[in-house]
Amino acid sequence: GAGLGAAASTTPVFHDMDELIASSGFSGSESYSRYPWWVKEVDKPTAEIDWNLMKPYDMRNSDKWATPELLAKYYAAQLKHTKECILNKTPGSSLKDYALFGGIKGSMMQNVPKVGTPEPNLEYLYPTDTLTSLGLPRYEGTPEENLKMCAAAIHLLGGRDISVVEVDDNVKKVLYSHSAMLMGGKPSRAIVWEDVDNAYETPEKMVIPNKCKWALVYSCPQSQLSRYRSVIMGKFGVFGAYSDIAVMDQRLQKFLRILGYQGVLDGFGGGNSISSNSGFGVLAGSGEIGRHDYVNSPSFGALMRMSQFILTDLPLAPTKPIDAGMWKFCQSCKKCADMCPSGAISKEAEPTWEPTGVWNGTGRKLYPVDYPKCGPWRGMPPGGIGHIYEAGPGGCSNCQVVCVFTKTPKASIHDVIRPLVSSTSVFNSFFTTLDKSFHYGGAFVTPLGEVNVSPDEWWNRDLKTYPFKGRVMGDGWA
């Protein structure tokens, strides 16, 4: 009772819920509040500090205890424990657990992934310790078990909608004959498949082993900041996703290496430089192709940077393409085409086999985008490096942003619309009109459909109540 009485005496009096929610507990901190009202600001830290006694610490003293003999003893014990755990498949310390830990830890080194990967290293120990030198077998599981394992790992790392394509002679056609000249200024090279154990590259070619028969595909949601169109803030979503993908690829590649397998991709978070990521996304079932020539995800709509993929020799159970009614919806909607400032997106009623030029692929009946019109509107930061189609001054993401399916998880009306669209096309035109009436074609739109015109409002948002958690893909669509 005494404790409750003391607490009551220090608790502020709030007249209504608005006052309680708005309170910060900080003096003069209306513009930035870190904690709730019950956390107080004080003039000094709660632990005492004597600045007269304090002096800069010599970090060389921190490991003087670590003699070579002691480290050798500790390392031998660690090695013994690790081998026993892996061989005994100890829950929480099995090979897949060590692999995921090594993958997460691996991005600390910021190694750029590339086509050719080194021998699988247990780099949480020492770079010289491999599965072979430790006398350990590689991970073995059924294709179904392997898919479930990879899905759990990728979800933790930030990917969503994890799917698989089995790579046969037809699927190999989805890869390019020659790589794109993408970020980093890497020259275009021939992409070939060979009967080799490990991927490698030369100045003339990029070689993928024929035994890499599976493409592991995952969705990379793009930030809601993309809704700020034709200003550089809108590019936060684009290049933020690419940055996340680059780290994700490093981690996933190392995860596979520690398991005893390889992951083949071309680095810089730009798998699209060796193949159509949209092609793999459609074949794996990450989504359906849209009128805008992007993958439409059932979860994220068109606000997807990539359906990223990594080719591997780890056997995986294939997933199937999907039909959520989105491709059929695109044929009557045309909203992205109407909102395209360049006129690059087709407004034709029916899809076609005919490309608009050599910049389009063949063998797909869809709405080919006239990319020479699109390019100048997309834009790069001054002095940036990137794809030739992003060489212009703009920052356009209109086709992604205005899509009827591109709505935040808080837009509850879409919990009704999406199932209806997947089962019938009767209401498609009505839903397009309804989408426009909610102002989703305007500037930045909040989960409640309110138009938030000024990007400055984002900079001044309340970090405690803002509905999106962060920029990392899949983590709330910041």
Query: Residue by residue, what is the 3-state secondary structure of the chain?
Result: CHHHHHHHHHCCCCCCHHHHHHCCCCCCCCCCCCCCCCCCCCCCCCCCCCCCCCCCCCHHHCCCCCCHHHHHHHHHHHHHHHHHHHHHCCCCCCHHHHHHHHHHHHHHHCCCCCCCCCCCECCCCCCCCECCCCCCCCCCCCHHHHHHHHHHHHHHHCCEEEEEEECCCCHHHHECCECCCCCCCCCCCEEEEECCCCCEECCCEEEEECCCCEEEEEEEECCHHHHCCCCCCHHHHHHHHHHHHHHHHHHHHHHHHHHCCCEECCCCCCHHHCECHHHHHHHHCCCEECCCCCEEECCCECCEEEEEEEEECCCCCCCCCCCCCHHHHHHHHCHHHHHCCCCCCCCCCCCECCCCCCCCCCCCCECCCCHHHHHHHHCCCCCCCCCHHHCCCCCCCHHHHCCCCCCCCCCCCHHHHHHHHHHCCCCHHHHHHHHHHCCCCCCEECCCCCEECCCHHHHCCCCCCCCCCCCCCCCCCC
Backbone dihedral angles phi then psi of residue 356, each to the nearest 5 degrees: -85, -15
Cα separation, 111 vs 166, whole angstroms: 28
- Residue 443 counted as domain residue: yes
pLDDT in tens, 293-314: 889 888 888 888 888 899 999 9
Q: Which one is predicted more confidently, 16 or 51?
A: 51
Cα separation, 472 vs 125, whole angstroms: 28
Considering its fold, how many domains does the chain have in total? 1
- Residue 370 counted as domain residue: yes
The average pLDDT across 153-172 equals 89
- Residue 18 counted as domain residue: no
CA 79 to chain centre: 34
**Tokens 């006239």 sit on residue:** 370
Examine the pLDDT at 352 and tell me if it is beyond 90: yes
**Planar angle of CA 47, 48, 53, nearest 5 degrees:** 135
pLDDT tier at 7 (50, 70, 90 boundaries)? very low
Cα separation, 337 vs 343, whole angstroms: 7
Cα separation, 470 vs 478, whole angstroms: 5
Structural domain boundaries, residue 342: 40-110+139-460
- Residue 127 counted as domain residue: no
* Pairing of β 214-221 and β 200-201: unpaired
Cα separation, 238 vs 303, whole angstroms: 10
Cα separation, 61 vs 70, whole angstroms: 16
Cα separation, 78 vs 91, whole angstroms: 17
**Tokens 């790589």 sit on residue:** 179
pLDDT in tens, 100-129: 888 887 665 554 445 554 445 555 555 556
Q: Which one is predicted more confidently, 207 or 270?
A: 207
Cα separation, 165 vs 59, whole angstroms: 51
Enclosing H/E stretch for 76: helix 68-88
* Pairing of β 190-194 and β 205-209: parallel
Do the beta carbons of residue 266 and residue 146 sit within 8 Å?
no
pLDDT in tens, 228-252: 766 677 777 777 788 788 888 888 8
The average pLDDT across 157-172 equals 90
- Residue 130 counted as domain residue: no
Residues in CB range of 62: below 8 A, 6 or more apart:
none
How many percent of the chain have pLDDT more than 90? 21
Tokens of 145: 């078990």
Beta bridge partners of 172: none
pTM of the model: 0.79
- Residue 73 counted as domain residue: yes
pLDDT tier at 412 (50, 70, 90 boundaries)? very low
The average pLDDT across 76-83 equals 88
The average pLDDT across 445-454 equals 47
The average pLDDT across 162-189 equals 82
- Residue 477 counted as domain residue: no
Examine the pLDDT at 422 and tell me if it is beyond 80: no
- Residue 476 counted as domain residue: no
Total H helices, total E strands in the chain: 14, 11
Cα separation, 206 vs 187, whole angstroms: 11
What Cα–Cα distance (Å) separates residue 200 from each residue in 192, 211, 253, 318, 438?
10, 14, 15, 26, 51
Examine the pLDDT at 268 and tell me if it is beyond 50: no
